[in-house]
Amino acid sequence: MKVVVVQAAAAAVDVTKFVTASESSSQAKKAAILLKSLTTNALIVGEVGVGKRTLASFILPDALIVDAADFDELLLLLENVENIIITNLDNSPNIQRLMEIIKENSVRVVATAKPSFSHKLIDDFFSIKFNLPPLRERSEDVEELLKLFVSDAKKMFGGGNNFDVSNFKPNLSQNALSLKRQVMINYLLQDVQDSDLIEIIEQYLYDKIGSNSDYRNFLYLYEVPLIKAGLDKFKSQVQVADKLGLNRNTLRKKIAEHKQYIGENI
């Protein structure tokens, strides 16, 4: 059976909120709508947070969702359902046995997996394969997701505060998951007071301190944000050193010391 590879994308939000700003998102929605009326098994691959589970739920809105790692529970369910969504198929301890049970019970499956997932039985079992690109390749979708997540933050935390995204640098390390978390945190912090920051840091440090060198060990919590804010604002190490009252060599030393947080190409 020939595998059809569909380059597509879906937002990792509620299944009713497909973001179709990019071409790949639009293709995903069209393909998903078509699959809703078919009985074809489909595999959705992509990085964490790109919308694999969202797309699967759009195709099979009433299907149970089970992680492949819960093998015994999954095998039991396969004897009692007509449709099922299997997440993280690459975590299954026995792909061959799983495929056999699915075929024996004539269950329609939409599964998700990492991009690197490969198995000799996959191509024959899944006639449709979706490859969901990461958000870093979908700038139009990032803009729309920002609007959605800001709206969610306003509803969740209340207030009519405007959220300035003009200088916002999206964290796409986990695609929509990290982006939403970032928006929520920044929305809360936009009106934060000094006392709030002190309390947050105090709570963070309470269970971590205990050695004789903790003052030095945790000094980066102050130095890193101060240096990063300076670099973002002034765009020049010379100006940052001047504004912070530091020797330029000292600043360069601090940047090198904290390169894992600040970056190496500053």
Q: What is the pLDDT of residue 203?
A: 93
Residue 263 — pLDDT band, cuts 50, 70, 90? confident
Task: Judge whether residue 7 has pLDDT over 70.
Answer: no
Are the CB atoms for 2 and 40 separated by under 8 Å?
Answer: no
DSSP code string of 218-260 = TTHHHHHHHHHHHHHHH--HHHHHHHHT--HHHHHHHHHHTHH
Q: Is 158 helix (H, G, I), strand (E, B) or coil?
A: coil
Tell me the CA distances in angstroms from 118 to 5, 41, 55, 74, one per residue in order: 14, 16, 20, 20
Burial of 39 (0-12, 13-18, 19+ CB in 10 A): exposed
Q: Residue 250's pLDDT is what?
A: 93
3-class DSSP state for residue 43? strand
Q: What is residue 13's predicted lDDT score, i.e. its pLDDT?
A: 41
**Residue 18 has what pLDDT?**
65
Percentage of the chain beyond pLDDT 70 is 91
**Mean pLDDT computed over every residue of the chain:** 87
Strand order in the sheet with 42-46: 4-7, 128-132, 42-46, 108-113, 83-87, 64-67
Amino acid at 173: S
Number of Cβ atoms within 10 Å of the Cβ of 91:
15
Topology annotation, domain 194-266: Arc Repressor Mutant, subunit A (1.10.10)
pLDDT at 266: 58
Of the listed ranges 43-47, 54-58, 100-104, 155-159, the one predicted with least confidence? 155-159
pLDDT grade for 25, boundaries at 50, 70 and 90: confident
Q: What is the pLDDT of residue 261?
A: 87
Query: CATH code for 4-134?
Result: 3.40.50.300
45: which residues sit within 8 A by CB, 6+ positions away? 52, 112, 113, 114, 115, 117, 129, 130, 131, 132
Tell me the per-residue pLDDT of 175-217, one tens digit each, with 9 for 90 and over: 999 999 999 988 888 878 889 888 989 999 999 999 889 999 9
User: What is the rounded CA–CA span in Å between residue 85 and residue 77?
Assistant: 11
- Residues spanned by CATH 1.10.10 within the chain? 194-266
- Quickly tell me which residue has 């269970």 as its tokens: 207
Indicate the pLDDT class of residue 16, thresholds 50, 70 and 90: very low
Check if the beta carbon of residue 229 is closer than 8 Å to that of residue 223: no
pLDDT at residue 8 tops 60: no
**SS3 label, residue 67:** strand
Q: Which range is least confidently modeled, 11-20, 55-64, 186-195?
A: 11-20
The sign one gets for the Cα dihedral 151, 153, 158, 164 is negative
**Taking Cα atoms as reference points, which of 191, 187, 259, 194 lies closest to residue 223?**
259
